[in-house]
Amino acid sequence: MPATKMILKCGECNRENYYVSKNRQNNPDKLKLKKYCKFCRKHIMHEETRLKK
């Protein structure tokens, strides 16, 4: 199964900041990473959302 493209969305301001790819077969759960949000200017938990077409 090929890797699918995802967007990481800020948990505080709900802006889409990062584009990532992941293999759903190896990682079936939603991806949650603590990343820097340039709009909030701090490190916040970002959660996976689907790529809009």
Fold classification of 4-50 (topology level): Rubrerythrin, domain 2 (2.20.28)
pLDDT in tens, 12-49: 999 999 999 999 898 889 999 999 999 999 999 999 99
Contact 49, 16 (CB under 8 A): yes
DSSP H helices, 1-53, are none
- Name the strands in the sheet holding 4-10, side by side, starting at the edge strand that comes first in the sequence: 16-22, 4-10, 42-50, 32-37
Q: From CA 37, how far away is CA 45, in angstroms rounded?
A: 9
**What six digits make up the tokens of 24?**
């759903």
Q: Which residue has the tokens 């809009």?
A: 52
pLDDT in tens, 40-52: 999 999 999 988 7
Q: From CA 2, how far away is CA 32, in angstroms rounded?
A: 20
